Structure 1
Amino acid sequence: MVIYLAFFALSLCFIYFYEKTQIKFFMLIGIAFPVILAALRSDVVGTDVRVYAEQLFDMAVSSNSFNDFTRMHWYSVWRYKTVSEFEIGYVILVYVCAKLHSFALLLGLTQFLTLYPISMVLDKYKKRYSGIMTIGLSIYYLLFYNMSLNMMRQWIAMAMMLLAFQYFKDGSNKYFIITFIIAILFHKTAILGLFIIMAYKFLNKKSGTVVLKTVQNTYDLKKILLLCLILIIFLLTISNKFRLSLINAFHFSEYATYIDGEVTLSLNQLVVDIPIIFLLISIWKFRKNIVDNYFYVFCIFSNIFLSQLASVMAYSSRISLYISVFKILIVPVYISSMSSKLQKYISLLGVIMFYLLYWYYTYVINGIDATVPYVFTSFK
C-alpha cells in the first residue's frame, strides 16, 4: 500500500516543480514514477493482467507472424477467446512488446499511453488555472490509477478520448480525428465519446433566449439544453427499454447483458461524488466565470445518474467512466475558481483527504481491481 502513496507523492512533487519552472524534464520525471510502478508489477496486480494481457503476450511471443498471432485462441473460464476479438490497437501494442520480449514494457507503455494524454490535457490549462496539473493528477492517482492497472485497454481509450475532446474544443480537427480513432482502436466503447462531444457542442452554442408566449417568460437557451440533456441521461438510467434500444441501434448488442436489468439506488456510487457536489455549491456564485460551466454541470449530474447502472452489474458502471474521467479536470478548475486563497486551500485539503480515504477503502480494504498489495515482478 505504502509504495503507491510514495510514488504518487514523488510524481506530484516533480509535476509541481514543472508547473513552477516550466522545465519539461520535471514533467517527464513526474510521469515516469507511476509508469515505472505499473511496469514493474507482478501479473497478480490488476485482474485483467492475467485475464488477457499475459495470455495475449505469451501467444504473441510464440507466434511466427502477426497474422499467425491474430488467429490464435485460448480457453478462458467458459469459452474460447481469440486474439482477433480484441481491438487492433492493443493487439499491435502487445505484439511489438512481445517481440521485444518485455512484458514490463507492455505494462509500462499501457500506463504511459494513459497518463501522458491526461497530462497533455491538463497542461493546456496551466496558464488559466494555477496548479491544475498537480491537483488534476492527484485526482487521477487517488480515484483511477489503481483502476487503470486493471482496465488497461479502456483506460487508454478514455485518456485518448479526453485528449480528442480537448483537440475538438481547441479547433484542431485533424488531431481530434487522429486521437479519436486511436481511442477506438484500443477500446471500441470509446465511440461513447462522440455523445460527450455532441453534448459539449450543444452546450457551447452562443447564448440565446427562448420566449414562451403562454407565460411571457424568457429562458436561457443553454439552461434549457442542459436540462434536456440531463433528462435524457436520467431516462437512460431508469428505463431499461430505452437503454437496450440505444444499444441495439448503435450495434453494441454484445454489451446488452451489462445493462439489461432494473436500476436500484447505489449509495456507494454516490459517495465518490460528494466532493464534486460540495465544490459545485462552493463556486455557484462564480460559475459564470468558468468557461465550460454548463458542460461541467452536465458531466457531474450525468455521472451521478449513469453510475447507478452499477446496481445492474458492476461492469455497467464502466459506461459512466467516460464522463467520470472529467473529474480530473473539473476538480482543479472549480478549486482554482474560488474567491479566496483560504477557501482554495481548505477545499483542496478536504477533497484530497476525502479521496485518500476513498482510495484506502476501495483499493486496500475492499480490494477492488486486485491491485493491493503491490507485488514486484520477478525477472527471469
Structure 2
Amino acid sequence: MIYYILAILLSLGISYFVSFFKKRKFFYTFFLFLSILPTSILAGVRDYSVGVDVGQYVTTNFGQAILYGRFWDFQTYLNFFKHRGGIDWVTRAHSTEMGYNVLTFIVSRFYNNAHWLMFYIQLTIGIFVILIAIKLNKMFDTSIPFTLFIYYSGFYIFGLNMMRQSIAALIMIYAFLFFIQKRYISYSILQLIAASFHVSAWIGIIIVLTHFIIVNSKKEKKLSYKDYSIIGMICIVFVSLFGSVIFGILSFIISIIPFLSYHMSSVYVSDGTPIRRVIVFVLWAEVYLIYLAFSSKTKNRKIIDNNLFEVTLRTSAIITILGIILSMTMVYTGTLYRLGINFNYIQITALPLVLKRFNRTAIGKMKLGIIIFGIIIFGYFIYSKFAATSPYTSQILDGYLTNW
C-alpha cells in the first residue's frame, strides 16, 4: 500500500507544483505529462500476480506477440480464440480488440518482457487522464490537480486490473469533450480508437445521445438538480430489492432469442457480490448527485450563465444514474457492472465541474468532502484486495531498493 501512496502523492505533487507556471506553456505541459511517470513505473514493475487480468491477456498475449514477425499473423492467431472456452482458457492467449493488440505488438518489437507492456498501458491511461484534465481546464477553468486526484483515488486501482477497459473508458470520456464542442470528426475518430481497445466503449454513443437530447429538450430541463439525487437513491434501492426479478425476466427473453443466447452469462443470476461491497462502486456517483443537489443553494452566477456548462452537468447526472443502475447489478451478476464502470468514469469530469457551481466560501468545504470520500474509496479498494491489486508486490522494485 505504501508504494501506491508514495507514487500517487508524487504524481499529484508534481501536477500541483507546475500549476504555478501556467504562463510557461511548454514547461507546464511537459511536467504535467511527467507527473504520470511515477504511477506508470509502479504499474510496470509490479509482479504479474498484481491484477487478475494481467495473467489473462497481458503476459499471455505478449508472449505470443514476440513469436510473430507480422502483426496480421498475430491478429489471426488471437482471432482463433474468439468465443472459445476450454480448460486452458485462463493460461492461453485471449482474443482482444485490435487497438490493444497493436499496442502489444509494438511493445514486443522493442522489449522481451511484459513489464514494459504494463508500463506502457498505464502510461497510455495516464496520458488520456492528463489530456482530459487539460481540456476540461481550458473549457471550464477546472483544477487539473483536483481532476487527477479524482482519477487516482477512484480509478487508478481499476486500471491495474481492467487495463483495456480503462484505456477505452478514458478515451471515450475525452471524445465526449470534443462532441460537446461540436467537433464531430475528432469525436468520431476518438470513439473508434476507444472501441478498438475495449468493445464496451461503444456505450459512449449513449453519452453523446443523452447530451444531444438534453440540448434539444425543454422538458428535461424542468428537472431540478435535487431530482437527480433522489432518482439515484431510488435506483440503488430498487435494483437492490428487485434486481433478481428483473434479471430473471431478461434471462428468459435472451434464452429464446438465438443470436443473443451467447450473452446469457451477462444476465444470469448468481450469488453476486454483497451489497456492502458494491456501494463503494457507486459512491463517487452519489457524491456527485448530492453535490449537484446542494449546489442549487450556493450558485456561482459567472459559471451558471454558461449554457454548455449546465447542459454538461445534466448529461453527467443522467449518465451517473445509468452508471449506478449498471454498477448495482454486481449484486446479482459479475458482467454487466463493467458497463457501469465505463459510465462511472464520467466522474473524472463531473466532480471538478460541479465544484464550479459553489461560491468561494463553500468550495473549500466541498473540496475537503471530496478528498475525504476519495481517501475512503481508495482505502476500501486496498483493504478489499480488489482483483488481486493489493497487496502490491514487486520483485523488481524490492531488488532495486535492496541493492541501492
**Unpaired stretches in structure 1, ≥5 consecutive residues:** 209-219
Determine the structure 2 residue equivalent to 1:270.
Answer: 279
Determine the structure 1 residue equivalent to 2:402.
Answer: none
Determine the structure 2 residue equivalent to 1:314.
Answer: 334
Identify which of 276, 283, 296 aligns with 2:316: 296
Matches of 1:253 and 1:197 in 2, distance apart?
29
Paired letter, 1:346: K
Identify which of 166, 185, 190 aligns with 1:179: 190
Question: Structure 1 65/296 Cα, relative in aligned 2: closer, same or farther at 3 Å?
Answer: closer
**Unpaired stretches in structure 2, ≥5 consecutive residues:** 23-27, 400-404
Determine the structure 2 residue equivalent to 1:86.
Answer: 96
Matches of 1:85 and 1:245 in 2, distance apart?
28
- Cα shift at 1:221: 4.5
Structure 1 residues 291-370: aligned runs within 5 Å: 291=310, 292-341=312-361, 343-363=362-382, 365-370=383-388
Deviations 1:149-201 (A, max 9, x none): 11011111101111111111112222111111111111111111111111111
CA contact (8 A) 1:126 1:133 kept: yes
| Greater percentage in strand | 1
Matches of 1:92 and 1:367 in 2, distance apart?
31
Matches of 1:138 and 1:359 in 2, distance apart?
11
Residue 26 of structure 2 corresponds to residue 20 of structure 1 = no
| Higher alpha-carbon deviation: 157-166 or 370-379 | 370-379
Question: Alignment partner of 1:170: what SS?
Answer: coil
Matches of 2:212 and 2:48 in 1, distance apart?
42
Deviations 1:99-130 (A, max 9, x none): 21242331122112222222212212224655
Determine the structure 1 residue equivalent to 2:214.
Answer: 203
Give the TM-score taking structure 1 as reference length. 0.83
Determine the structure 2 residue equivalent to 1:261.
Answer: 269
Question: Alignment partner of 2:279: what SS?
Answer: helix
CA contact (8 A) 1:335 1:344 kept: yes
Determine the structure 2 residue equivalent to 1:153.
Answer: 164
Determine the structure 2 residue equivalent to 1:52.
Answer: 57
Question: Structure 1 194/128 Cα, relative in aligned 2: closer, same or farther at 3 Å?
Answer: closer
CA contact (8 A) 1:45 1:374 kept: yes
- Cα shift at 1:76: 7.8
CA contact (8 A) 1:118 1:162 kept: no
RMSD: 3.5
Structure 1 residues 57-206: aligned runs within 5 Å: 57-70=62-75, 71=77, 78-80=87-89, 85-102=95-112, 103-127=114-138, 129-205=140-216
CA contact (8 A) 2:36 2:127 kept: yes
CA contact (8 A) 1:270 1:304 kept: no
Question: Alignment partner of 1:125: what SS?
Answer: helix
Give the TM-score taking structure 2 as reference length. 0.79
Matches of 2:52 and 2:235 in 1, distance apart?
31
Paired letter, 2:166: W
Determine the structure 2 residue equivalent to 1:215.
Answer: none
Question: Structure 1 333/362 Cα, relative in aligned 2: closer, same or farther at 3 Å?
Answer: same
- Cα shift at 1:247: 11
Deviations 1:320-379 (A, max 9, x none): 1121001111111122321134x222221222122212211222x210021222222539
Matches of 2:296 and 2:254 in 1, distance apart?
34
- Cα shift at 1:270: 3.3
- Cα shift at 1:147: 1.0
Matches of 2:123 and 2:17 in 1, distance apart?
20
Deviations 1:237-261 (A, max 9, x none): 6533468869999x77644312233
Question: Structure 1 100/247 Cα, relative in aligned 2: closer, same or farther at 3 Å?
Answer: farther
Paired letter, 2:265: T
CA contact (8 A) 1:17 1:26 kept: no
Deviations 1:258-282 (A, max 9, x none): 2233899934433424432431232
Q: State the aligned residue count.
A: 363
CA contact (8 A) 1:57 1:98 kept: yes
Question: Structure 1 122/188 Cα, relative in aligned 2: closer, same or farther at 3 Å?
Answer: same
